[in-house]
Amino acid sequence: PEMEQWFESLVYEKNDEANTRATALAAAYVAKLKATPADQLAAKKDEARHVRDVFKYLARWKVVPDSFQPKADLQQLIDAQGWDKKR
C-alpha cells in the first residue's frame, strides 16, 4: 500500500522525492517477489497481477516511463509463472 500511495501522489503532482521513494519501493517489491520460494509464490499471484496493472496504468498516463524496469521485471515474472494464461 505504501508504494501505491507514493505513486498515487505522483498522478496529482510531480515530485522528485516521491518518485525516488516510489521507484525504490517498486524495485524492492519485485526483488522480494523474485526471492519468494516457489511453494509460496502462487499465493502472491493476485497481488502481483494487481501491482502489474498499477504499473501499466502509471505508464499509460506517463507517470512512469514505458521502460520502467520494475514493470518489465514483474511482467517477466508473471509470464514465467503462466499467471496470464486463459483457463
Q: What is the pTM of this model?
A: 0.92
85 — pLDDT class (breaks 50, 70, 90): confident
Tens of pLDDT, residue by residue over 20-46, are 999 999 999 999 999 999 999 999 999
Distance of alpha carbon 73 from alpha carbon 32, whole angstroms: 12
87 — pLDDT class (breaks 50, 70, 90): low
Cβ–Cβ under 8 Å, residues 48 and 77: yes
For residue 6, how many other CB atoms are within 10 A of its CB? 20
Tens of pLDDT, residue by residue over 5-23, are 999 999 999 999 999 999 9
Cβ–Cβ under 8 Å, residues 33 and 77: yes
CB under 8 Å to 8, separation ≥6 — which residues? Answer: none
